[in-house]
Each structure stands twice: as structure tokens, then as C-alpha cells.
């Protein structure tokens, strides 16, 4: 079973979801814009994909650009930004029971599935 943290308006996210479906994977789809992630859940996801909050941040989003002193924030403060402004989360994220991947580009997802 794989969980995909998905934004249906994102082409890369739709491609990853379709890839999972095309390869017969059991999928749980979480639209994180409609089902916001808690800080603890996002911490767990980051641990599974082995990334820091700064590595998951979409820096071109208006929500990010509107934050004063944004370039001086700690990783914990960046985690709060990701929780409070979910559009700033890079997507898609695909996780299994024990690991995961930022599935952008799609090749990251393919490598992840091949190693599981």
C-alpha cells in the first residue's frame, strides 16, 4: 500500500498518481490541501523521505514570498510554514509503510518503486 500526498491541480502529481495506478499499486490518495497535515504527520513524512523542511519548500509560491524574514527561518519554523501554508509543500510525495520519496521528477518515483 502506498500513500500519495496529492494536489490534483498539479501535473506532476497527476502523473505520479497515474503511474501508480498503471502499475497496479494499491493507493491511498490524500489531497493535502483539503485534508491539511498536522505538524507531527509532516514530521513523520519528512523522516520517511529523508528530507528537511527546507528541501520540501516551494519557494515560488506566493504564500512563501509573503513571509517576512523567510530566508532566516529555522527548519522548525519552516515546518510551521509548510503546515500553515500547504501550497508551499512540494509534491507529490509517495510513502510506503517504512520509506518514501518526493516523486518529482517522476524518475524518483520509478527508482523508489524499483527498490521496494
- Annotated active-site residue 10? The verdict is yes
The answer to whether 92 and 104 are in contact (CB under 8 A) is yes
* Cell output for 102: 518526493
User: Locate cell 491539511: which residue?
Assistant: 36
The residue from 10, 29, 33, 110 that is catalytic is: 10
* CB distance 112 to 16 below 8 Å: no
CA distance 106 to 92: 9
Question: Residue 110 has which C-alpha cell?
Answer: 520509478
The residues near 95 (Cβ < 8 Å, ≥ 6 apart) are 2, 3, 5, 45, 48, 49, 101
What amino acid positions are annotated as catalytic residues? 10
Amino acid at each position: 500500500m502506498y500513500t500519495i500526498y496529492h494536489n490534483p491541480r498539479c501535473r506532476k502529481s497527476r502523473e505520479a498518481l497515474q503511474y501508480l495506478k498503471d502499475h497496479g499499486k494499491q493507493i491511498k490518495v490524500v489531497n493535502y490541501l483539503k485534508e491539511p497535515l498536522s505538524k507531527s504527520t509532516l514530521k513523520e513524512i519528512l523522516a520517511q523521505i529523508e528530507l528537511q523542511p527546507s528541501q520540501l519548500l516551494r519557494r515560488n509560491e506566493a504564500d512563501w514570498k509573503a513571509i517576512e524574514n523567510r530566508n532566516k527561518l529555522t527548519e522548525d519554523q519552516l515546518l510551521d510554514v509548510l503546515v500553515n501554508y500547504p501550497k508551499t509543500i512540494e509534491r507529490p510525495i509517495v510513502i510506503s509503510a517504512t520509506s518514501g520519496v518526493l516523486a518529482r521528477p517522476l524518475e524518483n518515483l520509478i527508482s523508489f518503486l524499483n527498490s521496494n
